[in-house]
Structure 1
Amino acid sequence: MDSVVDNVRNSVKYIRSSQYRIEQFDKLVLQAGIDCKHQPSLDVSTRWNSTYLMLESTLPFRKVFETLQKQEPSYTFGPSDKEWEMVLDICQLLKVFCHATNVISGSDYPTSNLYFLEIWSVKVVLDEQEKSSNPTVRIMVTEMKKKFHKYFMESYLTNCVPVILDPRFKMELVELRLKKYFGVGADKHIQEVKEAIMALFLAYGAEIEENIIIQSQEKNGEEAGLVDDALSDFDEHVKLKKAKTKMSCNAT
């Protein structure tokens, strides 16, 4: 994919290299009747998500780049029709990764119950793109699925637990997804998830029971202390009364 990405990156650099070229590009956009408020963005080559955003931002301007290629002899790295189709395929593939990254990176809402859902979205797109008409994409996705399976096997148990605790999904969604992923061998993995959630339940149950007992003992002790404080003057009164009675008896 490097040559495709490089051609798009050089195209964006070309139109951003001078004020004249920016203005020329804007005129071609108006002539093409393209309604897009943002110009193509330039990526940071070491960050895949910014590369995705760059590729996505150029797609609405495909006709403009094609016109520019015909009018400007110095513009020699315009993507071919085949490469533009490849850009589209790449964006469809990377979009789900970008969305998952944004969702899981959220800081204003719980995210652990979303991991499994986002990972499954990645799986769905990989399955779709594995049937792509583009042989390069098919080869790439085949390799990606190998890594996906490796990480899925390492993390699915941990990621299933929050889904079960989500009242919208519970165990039903987990069973459905694991049956789709593992097929006839799913029962083993489903049982593993059930055992994990039961172990958590028992551990938390024991901890809560212990805390209740401790709190109850502390509460009883506090209440007894409060009662003692409230009756301290009465106790003193009784002691004095007994002492007076005893003195009277001795005097008699």
Structure 2
Amino acid sequence: MIEKVKKIVAHFKRSTQANEKFMKYQSNHLRIEQPKKLVMEVVTWWNSTYLMIKRFIELREAVKATTAVINKEWPIVSQEEWTNLELLVSVLAPFEEITSSLSGQNYVTGGLAIVLCNSLRDICQEMLQNRHYIDAEIVQNVLIKLKSGLDSRFQNIEQSKTLALCTLLDPRFKLEMFKSDTNKNPIKEYCHEIMADILSRQVPTTIQVAPSATVSGSSVWNEVDSQLSKTRGFIQSNQGDAVVLGRRNFAPAKR
């Protein structure tokens, strides 16, 4: 299926005449002021495959119309394959979204690692339970591999003290995005120990709670916001001033 797309795109990239007809069809029949070119994947750029398929689907009408008037044996893309391509784009979209978002940041915060990994795993699981993806065997296999890869690579991500502490101290997330309750107490205690050590050395500390960040309407951030809205309650502990500071700053924000 992907190979068919690549062969069609490759011809439009090689043939000036075919590309001119393709661009004219967009201008004359689709009324597109600035016609778009098809995108070819790049081996070293993983999300270029996603971008290639997305553009191919976006310009489906122009692709069909132009190939029909060019005397060439084109790969035949069936209706089922068009549907699978659309589903595949929706599967890869959250991964591409995160890649583009993180690549565009000068300083990526460690607190996002657990949040984004858990959200991607949730999204994959939700899709695997959706009839549209279940009925499309090819797309379902892609989902299974993606979910399996996330589970195997990031199974113990919440046990990383560095990443867990970054998430805990991020006022947008705190403990609310942790999937496992067994990982919450250890990182709370670890943070309390750090704060107690700072207080014992009488280092002046001013702690301010930053306002919750506004998240975008994307599928990944919708998943994050959904998880945050489900959690309530305050953190309990038994360590003096460190605990007081912890309660003040780690308690879920009122919604």
User: 1:128 & 1:68 partners in 2: Cα distance?
Assistant: 38
Alignment of 1:102-117 (within 5 A): 102-117=100-115
Q: Counting helix residues as a fraction of each chain, which structure ranks higher?
A: 1
What stretches of structure 2 of length at least 5 have no aligned partner?
205-255
For 1:148, the equivalent position in structure 2 comes to 150
Alignment counterpart, residue 42 of structure 1, candidates 35, 40, 43: 40
Identity rate, percent: 21
Distance 1:34 1:90 in 2: 28
1:134 to partner: Cα distance: 0.9
SS of corresponding position for 2:65: helix
SS of aligned partner of 2:156: helix
- Give the superposed CA RMSD: 2.6
Matched, 1:165 2:169: yes
The equivalences for 1:117-128 within 5 A come to 117-128=115-126
Task: State how far apart, in whole Å, the 1-side matches of 2:65 and 2:165 are.
Answer: 54
Q: How far apart, CA to CA, are the structure 2 residues paired with 1:197 and 1:34? A: 59
2:201 alignment counterpart: 209
Provide closer, same or farther for how the CA distance between residues 122 and 46 of structure 1 changes in structure 2, counting only shifts above 3 A.
Answer: same
1:170 alignment partner, SS class: coil
Secondary structure in structure 1 of the residue aligned to 2:201 = helix
Q: Which letter does structure 1 place at the counterpart of 2:159?
A: L
Aligned to 2:87: 89
1:33-73 CA deviation, whole Å, 9 max, x = no partner?
Answer: 15364311111134321111111121111112222343234
Gap change, CA 1:105 and 1:112, over 3 Å in 2: farther
Change (3 A) 1:49 1:147: same
CA-to-partner distance for each residue in 1:174-225, whole Å, 9 max, x for gaps?
A: 3xx41xxxxxxx432322332343344456x27x82878xxxxxxxxxxxxx
In structure 2, what is the equivalent of residue 198 of structure 1? Answer: 192
Identify which of structures 1 and 2 has the higher relative contact order when contacts are C-alpha pairs closer than 8 Å and 6+ apart. Answer: 2
Q: Which runs of 4+ in 1 moved over 6 A?
A: none
| Amino acid in the other structure paired with 1:83 | E
2:4 match: 7
Structure number with bigger Rg = 1
CA distances 1:78-113 after superposition (whole Å, capped 9, x unpaired): 422211211111211112111212233344344212
* AA in 2 matched with 1:7: K
In structure 2, relative to structure 1, the CA distance for the partners of 1:43 and 1:187 (3 Å cut) is: closer
Query: Do 1:160 and 1:193's aligned partners in 2 also have CA atoms closer than 8 Å?
Result: yes
Find the residue that maps to 2:38 and give its secondary structure. Answer: coil
How high is the TM-score relative to the length of structure 2?
0.67
Distance verdict in 2 for CA 1:139–1:200, change over 3 Å: farther
Decide whether aligned partners of structure 1 residues 192 and 150 sit closer, same or farther in structure 2, where only a CA change above 3 A counts: farther
User: What TM-score, normalized to structure 1?
Assistant: 0.68
CA contact (8 A) 1:55 1:91 kept: yes
Question: Does the 8 Å contact 1:41/1:53 carry over to 2?
Answer: yes
